[in-house]
Structure formats: C-alpha cells, structure tokens
Chain A
Amino acid sequence: MTLTETEISIYDLCEQGDRRAQMKLYDQYAYGMYHVALRIVQQTDLAQDIMQESMISAFRKMNQWNRESTYGSWLKRIVINNSLSHLRKAGKMPTIDYEEVSYEMEQQPDDTGIDMEQAGMTARKVLEIMSELKENYRQVLTLSLIEGMDNEEICEILGLSNGQCRTMISRAKQSLRNKIEEYEG
C-alpha cells in the first residue's frame, strides 16, 4: 500500500505524534495571538475563534511559511489578516473619511512628542484612551503602535492608497496625543 501525497498531508495534520507538536505550538502562541485578534475585533469569543482558525490554517499552510520571517510574525500576520477580513465582512473596516482627505494635511508637526511616563500612562490607560478615539484611528494605532507595523505595511493590509493612509495614520497619532494631553490636564 502506498500513501498518496494527499494522504500524507492528512497524516501530518492528524497523526497523533504530530497532534502533540501542534498543541505545543498552540500553547506557545495562543495567548499572544488571542490578544492580537482581540485588539482588532474587540470581542472575546470572536477573538478566540479567529485565533484558533488562524492557527489551524497556519498548520495547513506550514509550507508557505517562507522562513524569512519568524514563525511568530508569520502567524501574527495571518491573525491580523483574518481579523481585518472579519471586520471587512461585518462592514467595520477602517476607511478614510472624505473630510479628512479634503482637509489636506501637509506634513504636520508630527513630532511634538509626549512623554508617556510623565503623562502617567500605562498600557491599560492607553488602551482605554484609544478606545475613545474614532474606530478607524483606533485600528491604525493598534497596528502601528502596538503591533509595531510600519506605515507601508498598514496601508497595504488595509488596502488603502499610500498618501491618504499615511495622512490618516498621522492624524490618528495626533488625536491620540491630544487625548493624552487632555487626560493629563
């Protein structure tokens, strides 16, 4: 009896020894990936589902992992993508408001910097403040500041054109700064 390649890949996925390896991977990444999803979709059940389905699809696509990035960052990208595509389906995807663009922001005085510590910020407080911002601002700030993606990646993953998207990101940062200052004052 000869195994076909299809059977072999099922074997990979379902074979008992492999299951242990899969659960090991799961335990290692579940917590972090759950939070990545949770910050985007903001619902615990949904975040768990997205995290778990992303894990499974990562197991199945293991061969597509190009090894240029770490397994963790590859997986994280899958989680972010799945979370965003959920928002897209639910019609909650960050978009660019017309007024924002027509406002025509040139390079704004971006770097007036805020001393986060002096402002008495903690992770929890920042999340709280961010949730008071406009939804699309909260989204891009999450991707940019918390997930550490650069602007280009964010624009690409959101499917937005570069110029507008950059403007949105810097406005989002500006409004976060304003909020923090308010909080401080």
Chain B
Amino acid sequence: MKDDMKSWFQQQDFDTTPLPNGHREAFLEKLEELCDEETKVIPLPIDKDGDKDNTFSLSKILKWSAAATLAVLLGIAGLKMTSTDTTVTEVSPEIAQTQTFFSSTIKNELEQLNTLRTAENAVIIEEALAAIEKLELQYEEIKQDYRINKDSKVVIAAMIENFQNRIQVLEIAREQIKQLEELKLEKENENII
C-alpha cells in the first residue's frame, strides 16, 4: 500500500513552472565572469583526477627539469665552446643524459596513449603521432644546427622546447581523449532525468 503512494508520486510530473526568463543569458554571464576571473587569478584547484600517476608528475618533472636542464646546458655550452666534437652525445654526457631522460618520458607517454586507443579516439591518437613525428624531424634539424653552433643558447633552448612541445602534444591528446570519454558517458545518461 505504501508503495502505491510512492509509485503514484513517481508517475507524477512535478516540474510544472517554466524557468524564469533570461535564465540562459544569466547562466552564460556567470560562466563568463568566472572565466574572466580565472584567467586573471588562476588559483584553480588542480585537477583531482583519479589517474594522478603520470600527467601531473610529468608536468612537474617537466617544469623543474626544463629549468634545470636549461641551466646545465647553458653552463656546458659555455664550457664546451672550444670543443670540436660533432654530435650531441659526443659533446656532452650531460646533454645526452637530458636527451635520454626526455626520450624515455615521451616514450612512456606514447605507450600509455596507445593503450587508450579505441575506434572513436583513433583520430586523436593518429594526429598526435603525426605531430610527434614532425617534431622529431625538426629535432634532427636542430641537432644539425647544434653541430655548427655548439655555443648558441638559442639552439639549446630550441632543443628543449622541442621536447616540451612533444610532451605537450601528448598531454593534449590525453586530455582530448578524456573529454571524449566524458561526452560519451553524458550521452549515455541523457535520458535519466
């Protein structure tokens, strides 16, 4: 009997009043306002995503390592000005080390990305891989440049930036895949309410 009452309630539509006029505009305004504030101040709570493992430590590593690497490389570049060696590895074990570090981070990230591959996000992944390939070619060019201009800070900075760009490409791809997942779930849940 009690359940009768419950089920009667469940069958009713209690949502009878229309939304106030201009509610949509008001909402957009609120969103915009928030975005303005945030782009100015930026103290957004950091993503509390479940998968803390790589992306965030990665960003941190990236930030610190970029600064450290730059310092080290610039120092080395200064010291090695007179060196006659021709390739990165030969010139400096430090640079080689940096290169290995970035390469393995990127390789790791690439492998992770590949494990996420599905039919829907294949396009995203392919695009990311193509961008990486381009950056790799660009890196080869920079390396050639390095042979000529070992002492150039610009060249070294370009090398580091190249690595950073690659990591960024991978991070963005992961972010896009995540958003795609979320959108899919939303669609699945569309009829619940």
Contacts and interface: CB of A to CB of B under 8 A. Distances in A.
Contacts of B42: 6-7, 10
B101 interface: no
Contact of B1 (A6, A111, A121): A111
Interface string B161-193: 000110110011001000100110110011011
A21 B16 CA distance: 26
B19 A64 contact: no
B62 A2 contact: yes
A31 to B, nearest CB: 6
Contact of A14 (B1, B20, B35, B192): B35
Nearest to B188: A70
B176 to A, nearest CB: 10
A9 B193 contact: no
B1 A31 contact: no
A99 interface: no
A2 B48 CA distance: 20
Contacts of A23: 24, 27-28
A22 interface: yes
Interface string A115-143: 11100011110110000000000000000
Contact of B39 (A3, A14, A21, A55): A14
Contacts of B4: 113, 115-116
A114 interface: yes
Contact of A123 (B13, B19, B55, B62): B13
B14 A121 contact: no
Contacts, number: 144
A156 B14 CA distance: 24
Nearest to A127: B14
Interface in B1-37: 1-2, 4-6, 8-10, 12-17, 19-20, 23-24, 26-28, 30-31, 34-35
B105 to A, nearest CB: 13
A123 B14 CA distance: 6
Nearest to B48: A63
Given A5-B55, A121-B8, A146 B14 contact: yes
Interface string A153-174: 0000000000000000000010
B5 A30 contact: no
A70 B20 contact: no
A48 B50 contact: no
A24 to B, nearest CB: 8
A89 interface: no
A116 B5 contact: yes
Contacts of A35: 14-17
A72 B30 contact: no
Interface of B: 1-2, 4-6, 8-10, 12-17, 19-20, 23-24, 26-28, 30-31, 34-35, 38-39, 42, 44-50, 55-56, 59, 62-63, 66, 164-165, 167-168, 171-172, 175, 179, 182-183, 185-186, 189-190, 192-193
17 contacts: A2-B59, A2-B168, A4-B63, A10-B44, A12-B179, A13-B35, A14-B39, A25-B186, A27-B24, A35-B16, A48-B19, A55-B27, A116-B9, A117-B8, A121-B8, A123-B16, A146-B9
Closest 10 CB pairs of A and B: A113-B1, A14-B35, A72-B193, A35-B15, A123-B12, A116-B8, A145-B9, A70-B189, A72-B192, A70-B192
